[in-house]
Structure 1
């Protein structure tokens, strides 16, 4: 059994499509197909059910996949550990977030401390982050809500109140506080379902007896305030995401449940380089030094 066979098998198993897997691996479809066939011959079983060009993991493949992922994960951890021991002040820090409002300040501080370390950030929903953590594809996640798991370490770093953003000239713009009951007939702007703040808002409003009327649902949180400013609707915004523009007014909402917890997550089994450990300490210090309420 070869390392390349495992890498190719994992790619095909995750996509369940030979053409897409070949494209993602930058190899020909025929080379990929032959490599998978050799792996199946080595194992003595078929790993996929094939219907035309479609593939689906069968029982053998489903049982083999987590072991193959774990094997590659451990090899990658060993590579990172040796690189760290060799004192190479370079590399890439892999991050995933479903809440990005505090990230620019954190990354700016980290770049000042570790200018040679590159970082790569993905904006994912909560389930996508959990998957990336389990696969060992990221060093850390900033998540709201926190995620619990046997192999996931979670530390709450911030308690962040949810505010209501309204455009200048809105009927509530002269107010400092508002109740949920006053918002039943409003039009709302939000990120799509699956993001922590959206799911929290939907649950709290549902408990209050209404479903927000969304006129815009997107996957770019930064665009929401721009749409509020344009008068398209109003929005629930985390306190850490508010800005100083005078065309938008932020109101407190009289509901103690409209508060989100932000947590730093990491895989307990993933090797953390010295740069990663320094990043984690920087995140803890950043939230201790700043009050976002």
Structure 2
């Protein structure tokens, strides 16, 4: 059994599509098919159910995939550890995030401290992030807490209050604090269902006995703020996403439970390189010094 066979098998197993996997692996489809056939001969059982051009992992394939991913993961960790200890070529820090509002100052400081280290950041949904971390394909995730899973470490680095963003000429814009119930009849601009902030607001609204009326649902806080500035409606955003705009007022909410926990996440079996440890230090220092912005700005 060859290492290349395992790598090819994992990609085919994830896509369950020979053409797509071949494109990703930059090999011909016929070469990939032959490699998978040889692997099945080696293990002594078919790993896929085949229906014309469709592939589906069978019970043997599901079992073997777990073992193959674990084997390649351990080999990769050994390579990373030796490279780190030998202080050879610069490592690449791989990050996955669900929101990017805090990243610019963090990455700026990290680059200042580690100018030779490359980094790659990918914005994902919470489910996608959890899968990447589970497979050990990222050094760290920066997100709200994920569903508890064995092997995924989680450290809360900041408690981020949710605030109301209102057009500056809104009748409630000058109040020092608002209750969510006072905004029950407003047109709302929010993130899509499934995002942490949206879930918090919708659950709190249900406790008050109303369903929020959204006129826009998106996934970028900066876009929400622009729509508020245009007078389209009211938005609820994490305090770390506040942008100073002349025609917007940010007002604190009375509901103190409406907060977003920002967490640092990692695969506890993945080797934490020196470069990754420095990133963790930068994140912790950034949030330790973070002062909550003055609202109604």
Bin the TM-score by the shorter chain. Answer: over 0.9
Q: 2:65: which partner in 1? A: 65
- Report the secondary structure of 1:194's partner residue: coil
Q: How does 1:1-293 map to 2 (within 5 A)?
A: 1-88=1-88, 90-145=90-145, 147-292=147-292
| Alpha-carbon distance in 1 for matches of 2:26, 2:193 | 33
The answer to whether the 8 A contact 2:83-2:89 is kept is no
Instruction: Give, in angstroms, the shift of residue 147 of structure 1.
Output: 4.7
Unmatched 5+ residue regions in structure 1? none
Instruction: Give, in angstroms, the shift of residue 171 of structure 1.
Output: 2.8
Deviations, residues 187-211 of structure 1 (Å, cap 9, x unaligned): 2222222322222222222222222
| Alpha-carbon distance in 2 for matches of 1:17, 1:155 | 37
Please give the root-mean-square deviation of Cα atoms over the aligned residues, in Å. 1.5
Instruction: Give, in angstroms, the shift of residue 122 of structure 1.
Output: 1.1
The answer to whether the 8 A contact 2:177-2:253 is kept is yes
Instruction: Give, in angstroms, the shift of residue 246 of structure 1.
Output: 1.7
Deviations, residues 116-153 of structure 1 (Å, cap 9, x unaligned): 11111111121111111100011001111355332111
Deviations, residues 217-265 of structure 1 (Å, cap 9, x unaligned): 2233332211211222221110111122221110111112211111111
Change (3 A) 1:175 1:24: same
| Alpha-carbon distance in 1 for matches of 2:99, 2:194 | 12
- Report the secondary structure of 1:121's partner residue: strand
Change (3 A) 1:220 1:28: farther
The answer to whether the 8 A contact 2:145-2:154 is kept is no
Unmatched 5+ residue regions in structure 2? none
Deviations, residues 167-192 of structure 1 (Å, cap 9, x unaligned): 22223222232111122222222222
| Alpha-carbon distance in 1 for matches of 2:126, 2:2 | 34
The answer to whether the 8 A contact 2:93-2:276 is kept is yes
Q: TM-score, normalised by structure 2?
A: 0.94
Q: TM-score, normalised by structure 1?
A: 0.95
More displaced, 174-183 or 55-64?
A: 174-183
The answer to whether the 8 A contact 2:140-2:264 is kept is yes
Instruction: Give, in angstroms, the shift of residue 32 of structure 1.
Output: 1.2
| Alpha-carbon distance in 2 for matches of 1:50, 1:268 | 36
The answer to whether the 8 A contact 1:144-1:197 is kept is no
| Alpha-carbon distance in 1 for matches of 2:31, 2:219 | 37
Q: How many residues align?
A: 293
More displaced, 3-12 or 139-148?
A: 139-148
